[in-house]
Amino acid sequence: SFSAIRPDRDIIGKQKNPRRKKLKREDSSLPSPGSADSPSPHEDVLVTFLVDVELQSMGGPAARTPLPIGIQRIKAEPDMDISSLFSNRYAYEHEAYEMGYGAERVASVEQLVSSLRRYLFATVHWIEALFSLAQIENVAEKVAVLKSVFAPYTILCQAARTAQLSRDMDAICLCNRTTIPRQPPRHLLETNLLANNLIPRVLDDLVAPMRKLSLSEAEIVVLSALVILDPA
CATH number, domain containing residue 111: 1.10.565.10
> What predicted TM-score, i.e. pTM, was given to this entire model?
0.78
Residue 41 to residue 168: CA distance in whole angstroms: 38
- Residue 207 CA to residue 202 CA, distance in Å, equals 6
State the pLDDT confidence band at 65, using cuts at 50, 70 and 90.
low
Residue 60 has pLDDT above 70, yes or no: yes
The residue range of the domain holding 171 is 100-231
CB 150 within 8 A of CB 123: yes
- For residues 15 and 173, the answer to whether their CB atoms sit within 8 Å is yes
The sign of the CA dihedral 184, 190, 192, 197 is positive
Is residue 207 in some structural domain?
A: yes
Confidence of residue 40 (pLDDT cuts 50, 70, 90): confident
Read off φ and ψ for residue 146, nearest 5 degrees.
Answer: -55, -45
Side-chain half-sphere of 144: how many Cα atoms within 13 Å?
8
Residues 12 and 96 sit within 8 Å (Cβ to Cβ): no
Nearest to 150 by CA among 23, 49, 4: 4
Task: Categorize the per-residue pLDDT at 37 as very low, low, confident or very high, splitting at 50, 70 and 90.
Answer: low
| Residue 89 falls inside a structural domain | no
User: Would you state the pLDDT for residue 61?
Assistant: 78
| Average confidence (pLDDT) over 4-21 | 41
Judged by DSSP in three states, 78 sits in: coil
What local confidence, expressed as pLDDT, does residue 29 receive?
Answer: 56
Kindly report the average pLDDT of the chain as a whole number: 82
Within a domain: 139: yes
* Dist CA 45 CA 25 (whole Å): 11
Residue, of 107 and 65, whose pLDDT is higher: 107
The answer as to whether 120 is a domain residue is: yes
Alpha helix positions (H), the chain:
41-58, 84-87, 109-133, 139-165, 186-189, 198-202, 208-213, 217-229
Does residue 9 belong to any structural domain of this protein?
no
Q: Is residue 109 part of a domain?
A: yes
Residue at 148 is within a domain: yes
* 8-state DSSP, 203: I
Please report whether residue 159 resides in a domain.
yes
Average pLDDT value for residue range 140-169: 95
Higher pLDDT, 11 or 105: 105
The SS3 assignment for 80 reads coil
Total domain count for the chain? Answer: 1
Contact 160, 23 (CB under 8 A): no
Helix 109-133 / helix 139-165 crossing angle, nearest 10 deg: 120
